[in-house]
Amino acid sequence: MSALTWLLLTPLAGALVLLLLPPLHAWSRHLVGWLSLAISALTLLAAIWLVAGVAATGDLSTIALGLPWRVDALNVSLILLTAFIGATTAIFARPYMLHACAEGRIGPIRLRTFHSLYQVFMLTMLVALTTDNLGVLWVAVEGATLATVLLVSLYRTPEAIEAAWKYFILCGVGIALALFGAVLTYFAAQHVLADPESGLTWSLLHAAAGDLEPAVMRLAFVFLLVGYGTKVGLVPMHQWLPDAHSEGPTPMSAVLSGLLLNIALYALVRLKMLVDGSLAATAAPHLAGQLMMGFGLVSFLVAALFLHRQRDIKRLFSYSSIEHMGLMTFAFGLGGALATFGALLHMLVHSLTKSAIFITVGHATQIAGTQRIDQIRGLIRTQPAVGWGLLLGVTAIAGFPPFGIFTSEFLLLNATMQTAPWLSLALLVGLAIAFAGLFRHLQPMVYGTPPTGQAPVTANMLPVAVHLGLVIWLGLAMPALLAGWLEGAVLMVTGTALP
């Protein structure tokens, strides 16, 4: 069996095994967490195997289960990232969910459900990343919604159910619109491809993108942008995101922010490539990019402003996710080698940082016993590891050197300066607002006076340390392998090499 098969079968089998485990024994409560962790680790191994193969032999394009799959420069780093964050979050999720179970907020059955659905979620993410078929991509992204919606309502509080319902309805509607876009794309392909049946295969479409009917592709992209944009969390379709993040269990928030948003953006980038190819010869060749720039910039600025009025720590960081996704969408829309490179790098470092932050936030809320920002005080005195984790994480996400986000944001600003100087002003203002919004909340949480009786909790800060370490590494020196992938991806997406 190939590495790809292993990559996809491991979480699938894992989900089934977890689902069949008898939940009611004390030992199985511990077992599910470890098992889930083991499956995630295996998935990571499979991903490394796959990536190593691609690094050695180049792009992988294969047919399995009767469907086309594709691993190329654009998605190879994301596959690795997804499997990696999946594994580190599983490390965090095991004790965290056990704690929730011990507190009585979930029963053993829901504990098992969580881990099982977590694996299903990972499966859908990996399928969405590796598939070469736009229909399967859609099915996988919808599958990710379905897998996570029950996780958001896991605690069954009225708020959690409300958040899950909103999430379900909004993303369901969005994704339905995206399917209409996919149908239109397939429709455009009917007259172009030799074999109309393969009209959803991305690589064939990409090869023939110039022949796709521009009018159809233009309309299709509007639907796809609204559809997948809902998943990315673009304003004004972002309403679900803060609710789902704040009400779901924290490991869920970590993977939602760190992975799901990325995947949706990745899908948009792939689709933009098709549309760009189709529109190249028309009067408005950059329509797709301009739309993405508009949505991205609005999301970026609105989210930056909303950071200021948050009362809930998880909502705070979910708005920060919207802000960064907006920035990336803007950058991909801007196009050009430098902007695309910056956006790709930003995808990686933002995922690593944001999941690290959510893991830290999970511990912080356990310490404080609440998610309310004004009741989380003095973390660094109560438990220095968590306090420092939060401080460093927020410093990283706000774009301070030497963290990787500084590098990517610097590149993005640079690129904007070159192509659209006026917009770089908006970016700078937005970054400043976001910075202020984050730090006005952060300072008392980390340094304030801890309430009496606040005690440390058992916290495994290893994932956080590893993530932040990686982000620093990417900020200071990029490994040649990754640089090669990113350059290859830039070449693919924009058609021009990096200067």
Partner 1 sequence: MNMAELSLLQQSVVLLAALVLFLSFVLLAQARLVSAIHAFAWQGALIAAVTAVVALIQGAHHLYVSALLTLVLKALLIPWMLHRLVRRLALERHRETIARPALVASGAVALVIFSWWLVLPIIADKLGFTRNIIAVSLAVVLIGLLMMVSRAQAVAQVLGFMSMENGLFLAAVSATGGMPLVVELGVAFDVLVAMVLFGVFFLQISDSIDSLDVDRLNRLREADAAADPGVGGVADPDDGGATETGARDPNRTLGADVTVPASRSAGEARP
Q: How far apart are the first and last CA of the chain?
A: 40
CB of 123 vs partner 1, minimal distance in Å: 13
Q: 180, 400, 439, 473: which one contacts partner 1 (CB under 8 A)?
A: 180
Using the minimum distance from each CB to partner 1, give the nearer residue, 80 or 237: 237
List the structure tokens of 32. Answer: 């599910």
Comparison of 12 and 420: residue with beta carbon closer to partner 1: 12
Asked whether 199 and 132 are in contact (CB, 8 A), the reply is: no
Per-residue interface string for the shown chain with partner 1, residues 13-52, x marking contact by CB under 8 A? ----------------------------------------
What's at 66, amino acid-wise? G
CB of 485 to partner 1, least distance (A): 29
Scan residues 247-286 and list those touching partner 1 (CB under 8 A): 247, 249
- In whole angstroms, give the CA distance from residue 402 to residue 52: 28
The footprint of partner 1 on residues 354-393 (CB under 8 A) is 365-366, 368-375
Q: Which two tokens stand for residue 214?
A: 């521009």
Q: Give the interface size with partner 1 as a residue count (CB under 8 A).
A: 72
Choose the stretch contacting partner 1; rule: CB under 8 A; options: 8-16, 109-117, 151-159, 287-295: 151-159
Which parts of 92-231 are beta strand (E)?
none
Comparison of 66 and 499: residue with beta carbon closer to partner 1? 66
Instruction: Name the residue nearer to partner 1 (CB basis): 315 or 324.
Output: 315
Q: ∠484-293-480 over CA atoms, to 5°?
A: 10
Tracing tokens 């180049």 back to the chain, one arrives at 58
Smallest distance from the beta carbon of 444 to partner 1, in angstroms? 15
- By CB under 8 A, residue 166 contacts partner 1: yes
Applying CB under 8 A, among 156, 210, 432, 476 the residue interacting with partner 1 is 156
Residue pair 233/325 in contact (Cβ under 8 Å)? The answer is yes
Rg (CA), the chain: 21
Tokens for 441? 């909340």
**Does 468 participate in binding partner 1 (rule CB under 8 A)?**
no
Question: Is 385:461 a contact under the CB 8 Å cutoff?
Answer: yes
* String of contacts with partner 1 for each residue 188-207, x by CB under 8 A: --xx----xxxxx-------
Q: Is 227 in the site for partner 1 (CB under 8 A)?
A: no
Query: Which DSSP symbol is given to 309?
Result: G
Q: Which stretch binds partner 1 (CB under 8 A): 11-19, 37-45, 158-166, 280-288?
A: 158-166
* 8 Å CB contact between 284 and 276: no
Is residue 62 a contact point for partner 1 (CB under 8 A)? no
Q: How far is the CB of 373 from partner 1 (least distance, A)?
A: 8
Packing angle of the helix pair 214-232, 261-279 (nearest 10 deg) = 170
Q: Structure tokens of 476?
A: 């200071």
Give the span between the Cα atoms of 184 and 177, in whole angstroms: 11
Q: Which is nearer to partner 1, 198 or 424 (CB)?
A: 198
Question: CB-wise, 148 or 407, nearer to partner 1?
Answer: 148
Distance CA 246, CA 61 (A): 39
Cα angle value 259/351/490 (rounded, 5°):
95
**Nearer Cβ to partner 1, position 25 or 372?**
372
Site residues for partner 1, 295-354, by CB under 8 A, read 306, 309-312, 315
- Bridge partners, 63 (sequence order): 68
Closest approach of partner 1 to the CB of residue 241, in Å: 11
Q: Nearest to residue 408, comparing CAs of 356, 353, 360, 488?
A: 353
Q: Which is nearer to partner 1, 150 or 436 (CB)?
A: 150
> Is 68 or 333 the residue whose CB approaches partner 1 more closely?
68
Q: Which residue has the tokens 């009225």?
A: 158
* Backbone phi and psi for residue 61, each to the nearest 5 degrees, phi listed first: -135, 115
Residue for token pair 């969390």? 233
Stretch that binds partner 1, among 48-56, 178-186, 400-408, 478-486 (CB under 8 A): 178-186
The yes or no reply on residue 211 touching partner 1 (CB under 8 A) is: no
The residues in 472-491 that bind partner 1, with binding defined as CB under 8 A, are none
Q: What is the per-residue binding string for partner 1 in 74-103, x denoting contact by CB under 8 A? A: -----------------------------x
Asked if 150 interacts with partner 1 (CB under 8 A), we say yes
Dist. CA 389–CA 360, nearest whole Å: 6
SS3 state at 459 = coil
